[in-house]
Amino acid sequence: MKKIATHLWFDREAPEAARFYVGIFPASRMTSESRIGGTPSGDVDLVTIELAGSEFQLISAGPNFKFTPAISFLVACENAAEVDRYWSSLRTGGSELMPLGAYPFSEHYAWVIDRYGLSWQLMSTGGKPAKQKITPTMMFTGPQCGRAEEAIRSYASIFGDAEVGDIFRYGPGAAPNSEKDVMHADFRLEGLGFAAMDSAFPHGFTFNEAISFVVLCETQDEIDRYWKALSAAPEAEQCGWLKDRFGVSWQIVPTAMGRLMATSDEASRARVTRAFLGMKKFDIAELERAAR
C-alpha cells in the first residue's frame, strides 16, 4: 500500500472512467470497487485502480467539483508512437490544450483533456527511461503563480522520503512569467514523484477539490501531525479533507478506514459512515467505537 494516492472526484462516472483508464495504460488493474449510502450525495461509488504503478482513487459523488488543468498527469512515453497511442485514446471525445507536435522540451508532445475533463500531458522521452510512468503535475496560476518552489520546499519539509529535484526557471524574455518563476520542477514525497510549474497567463482556473491527494496514516498522532502542517483553510475542513495554503486539497485518512468499511456488516458500515460525515479531522478511536 502506497502512502500517497491521487483522488479523482466525478459526478457519476467513476466506475466507467476507471475501466476506461485501466484499458488504456498497460500494467494497470482495478483493485477495489464498492458503494456506500447515507451520504449528502446519496449512494456514492468508490473505485481504486492502479495505473502503470500509480494508485488512483475515484469517487462518484455529484457535480460539486470539475477538473481543471491546474493538476494534470504527465505521461512519460518512450517514443512518438507511444505518445500517438495515448493521444488517440485520450483525445477522443475530449479536446486539446497544446496540439500534438514537436516542442523545444520534447520531440513529440501533446496536452489533452479527456472525455471526463481530466488533463494529460503526453511526452516522448526520446528513449530515456523514466522513474515513474504517470506524474501528477501542479500548475500554480493566478494569485498562486510564483509560489511553486515555495510549495515544493514546504511539502518536502512535511513528508518523509522527500527529495527536491531539478528546478528550471523561465529566465529573461518569458513575459508575463518572471524569469525567477518555475518553468518545470520535479520532487518526490513518500516515494511518489510530482512535478510543478508557475504560469502567469490568465488561465481562469486554479486548484480545487476535484483532484486531491490522499495521505494514509497508521496512527492518530500521524493524522494530527499532517493536519497541523497542511490545513490552512478551516472552512474547507470536512470528512478528512483539508486545503493547504497554496490551495491544493489533501485527504488525511486512517488506514483503518479501509478495514472498517470493508466489513459485510451493513449496520456497522452505516454507523461508521455517519460518524465520519460529522468529522473534520478523522478520529480513529471514534470511528472504531462507531463500528462496534
DSSP code string of 231-280 = ---GGG-BTTEEE-TTS-EEEEEETHHHHHHH-S-HHHHHHHHHHHHT-S
Q: How far apart are CA 107 and CA 86, in angstroms?
A: 16
What architecture (CATH level 2) is domain 218-292?
Answer: Roll (3.10)
Dist CA 283 CA 1 (whole Å):
21
Averaged pLDDT, 202-220: 97
> For residue range 241-259, what is the model confidence (pLDDT) as tens digits?
999 999 999 999 999 999 9
From start to end of 141-228, where are the E strands? Answer: 163-169, 182-189, 192-198, 211-217
Please give the Cα distance from 206 to 164 (Å, whole number). Answer: 23
Cβ contacts of 143 within 8 Å, gap of 6 or more: 206
Does 1 score more than 80 pLDDT?
A: no
Looking at residue 241, its pLDDT comes to: 98
Tell me the pairing of strands 4-10 and 211-217: antiparallel
More confident residue, 286 or 42: 286
Partnered with residue 184 across adjacent β-strands are 168
What is the tens place of the pLDDT at every residue in 34-70?
A: 998 888 888 999 999 999 999 999 999 999 999 999 9
Task: Say which residue the cell 529573461 belongs to.
Answer: 172
Average pLDDT, the chain: 96
**Per-residue pLDDT at 2 exceeds 90:** no
pLDDT surpassing 80 at residue 150: yes
Residue 172 has pLDDT above 80, yes or no: yes
| pLDDT of 263 above 90 | no
Q: Would you state the pLDDT for residue 136?
A: 98
Measure CA of the first residue to CA of the last residue in the chain; give whole Å.
25
pLDDT in the model for residue 28? 98
Instruction: Please state the length of the chain.
Output: 292
| Mean local confidence (pLDDT), 210-226 | 98
pLDDT band at 164 (very low <50, low <70, confident <90, very high): very high
pTM for the structure as a whole:
0.96
Range of weakest confidence among 37-46, 204-213, 228-237: 37-46
- Whether residue 33 has pLDDT greater than 90: yes
Closest CA to 64 of 41, 48, 44: 41
Query: What pLDDT score does 157 carry?
Result: 98
- The confidence score (pLDDT) of residue 38 equals 84
Mean per-residue pLDDT, 116-138 = 95
Domain boundaries, the chain: 71-198, 218-292
What is the dotted CATH code of the domain comprising 71-198? Answer: 3.30.720.110
